[in-house]
């Protein structure tokens, strides 16, 4: 099927030339046929001279008219291809969009196959060997992994099937003689690759390279535009939800009731709580639109726990924190740790006994991980999945848990971009761990050595 599309594309691209050759050949044949019927040599010379004149004239016409026609055809074809590619990639880097894009591009190139990937898996593959690379299969070649890691395009040539280098633990069922792999970049980060495979290394000329590199830039630009639009939408949604979450009416009323109860039994404690409560909400409102050091975010979270400990009892909630040296000043959006701790208090506490909550901040390569772990009731995978999607777990009559986690996920993705996210691990009866990954947020260590 791909070979039929390639033949059709070649015929379309060269229609003007083929038509000119056919007309010239037909004219020559007719004139030679007339000349063969004439006996006079002078008449034959005249006819042959006429044939030469016709050939020259038609050649001149071809030179004058064909380039414009071909340029017009090429321009229209390119515009249609670009328009279709932009339409398909306007929805982001996913299997459906990539499949449609590869199907558009393959007939317009000399490639035997075209594939698109994210950082780890194949999203689409169209052309020879399509059945061996279904969507979702892992990336199998080292050259693709190198392009994703370095962000630089690579051209490769294989001398034979045995010369192909598979990625670790993978095999390569389809022999690809030559190819070009181009990174797909969004905001200076490589998010995937587009790959053009060829039957022969001689098929990769400067024109093919220019086309491939240009298409890679085109797709990257459209993905960047999509990401900007999505981030703008996330920002608007997240800011509204953050403000709603920061002024939680249930927490407000419960805290005021707790303070009111202490005014009768322990007036000194009531004054201290009221003072802390004023500081807590002032900090909440002041930090609503800025990033703050993670140590300050944890300090605000501990202030929140002060009120919950006053409400439930000092021995019912035990909190510990650990911050890797150097991470104290990592900038984070305000109100990303407290919702995780608040969820633990609201949903993980048993009827009796202490709830232990650990807050841990550490680096993972260039990323920063913030984990909140409790030893409470836990949940099964279906409830954890509901929380990831922003829904309320089954059987949970309270509101806000899923919305709060989704809000946190959207805000860190808005601040730190692709690669950021939230992970939830939980087991019934054992507890829950929620980890935030802040991409490229790790503090840079300056090298003072000469």
Query: Between 3.10.20.30, 3.30.565.10, 3.40.309.10, 3.30.70.1350, what CATH number should domain 247-438 receive?
Result: 3.30.565.10
CA 150 from centre of chain: 16
Provide the pLDDT for residue 83: 65
Collapsed DSSP state (helix, strand, coil) of residue 212:
helix
**Euclidean distance between CA atoms 11 and 311, whole angstroms:** 80
**Euclidean distance between CA atoms 304 and 162, whole angstroms:** 63
- Residues with Cβ within 8 Å of residue 276, at least 6 apart in sequence: 303, 306, 307
Collapsed DSSP state (helix, strand, coil) of residue 159:
coil
**Euclidean distance between CA atoms 73 and 225, whole angstroms:** 29
**Euclidean distance between CA atoms 237 and 130, whole angstroms:** 40
Nearest to 122, CA basis, from 105, 140, 149:
140
The reply to whether 247-438 shares the fold of 90-228 is no
Other Cβ atoms less than 10 A from the Cβ of 147: the count is 26
Per-residue pLDDT in tens (0 to 9) along the chain, 450 residues: 444 444 445 544 454 555 555 555 555 555 555 555 545 555 555 555 555 555 555 555 554 555 554 444 444 555 556 666 667 677 788 898 899 889 988 887 778 999 999 999 999 999 998 888 899 999 988 899 999 999 999 998 887 776 677 776 676 777 888 999 999 988 778 999 999 999 888 888 887 788 788 888 888 887 877 777 776 666 655 555 555 555 567 778 888 888 888 888 888 988 898 888 888 877 776 655 568 899 999 999 999 999 999 999 889 999 999 999 999 999 998 888 988 999 899 889 998 899 999 999 999 999 999 999 999 999 888 888 877 665 555 555 444 555 678 878 888 888 888 889 899 999 999 999 999 999 999 987 554 443
CA 103 from centre of chain: 20
In contact, 154 and 180? CB cutoff 8 Å: yes
pTM reported for the whole predicted model: 0.49
Label the pairing between strands 355-364 and 317-323.
parallel
Q: Please give the CATH number for the structural domain made up of 90-228.
A: 3.30.450.40
**Euclidean distance between CA atoms 376 and 429, whole angstroms:** 7
Q: Where do the domains of the chain lie?
A: 1-82, 90-228, 247-438
Nearest to 321, CA basis, from 280, 283, 372, 367:
372
Collapsed DSSP state (helix, strand, coil) of residue 283:
helix
């Amino acid at each position: 099927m791909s070979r039929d599309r390639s033949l059709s594309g070649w015929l379309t691209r060269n229609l003007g030339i083929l038509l000119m050759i056919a007309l010239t050949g037909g004219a020559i044949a007719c004139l030679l046929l007339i000349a063969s019927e004439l006996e006079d040599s002078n008449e034959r010379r005249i006819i042959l001279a006429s044939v030469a004149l016709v050939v020259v004239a038609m050649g001149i016409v071809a030179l004058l008219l064909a380039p414009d026609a071909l340029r017009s055809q090429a321009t229209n074809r390119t515009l249609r291809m670009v328009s279709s590619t932009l339409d398909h990639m306007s929805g982001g880097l996913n299997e459906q969009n990539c499949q449609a894009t590869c199907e558009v591009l393959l007939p317009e190139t000399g490639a035997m196959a075209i594939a698109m990937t994210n950082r780890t898996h194949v999203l689409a593959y169209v052309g020879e060997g399509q059945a061996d690379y279904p969507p979702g299969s892992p990336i199998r070649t080292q050259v693709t992994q190198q392009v994703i890691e370095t962000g630089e395009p690579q051209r490769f040539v294989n001398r034979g099937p045995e010369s192909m280098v598979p990625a670790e633990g993978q095999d390569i069922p389809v022999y690809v003689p030559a190819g070009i792999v181009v990174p797909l970049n969004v905001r200076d980060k490589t998010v995937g690759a587009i790959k053009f495979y060829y039957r022969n290394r001689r098929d990769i000329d400067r024109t093919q390279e220019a086309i491939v590199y240009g298409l890679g830039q085109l797709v990257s630009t459209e993905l960047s535009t999509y990401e900007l639009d999505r981030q703008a939408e996330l920002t608007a949604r997240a800011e509204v939800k953050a403000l709603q979450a920061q002024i939680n009416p249930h927490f407000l009323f419960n805290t005021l009731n707790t303070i009111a109860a202490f005014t009768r039994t322990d007036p000194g404690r009531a004054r201290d709580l009221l003072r802390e409560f004023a500081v807590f909400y002032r900090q909440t409102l002041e930090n609503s639109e800025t990033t703050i050091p993670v140590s300050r975010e944890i300090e605000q979270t501990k202030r929140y726990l002060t009120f919950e400990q006053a409400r439930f009892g000092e021995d019912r909630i035990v909190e510990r924190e650990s911050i890797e040296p150097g991470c104290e000043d990592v900038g984070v959006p305000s109100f990303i740790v407290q919702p995780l701790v608040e969820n633990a208090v609201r949903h993980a506490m048993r009827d009796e006994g202490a709830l232990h909550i650990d807050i841990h901040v550490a680096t993972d390569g260039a990323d920063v991980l913030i984990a909140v772990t409790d030893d409470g009731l836990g949940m099964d995978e279906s409830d954890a999945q509901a929380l990831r999607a922003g829904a309320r777990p089954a059987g949970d009559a309270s509101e806000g848990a899923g919305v709060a986690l989704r809000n946190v996920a959207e805000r860190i993705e808005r601040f730190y971009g692709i690669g950021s996210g939230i992970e939830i691990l939980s087991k019934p009866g054992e507890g829950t761990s929620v980890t935030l990954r802040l991409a490229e947020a790790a503090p840079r260590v300056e090298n003072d050595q000469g």
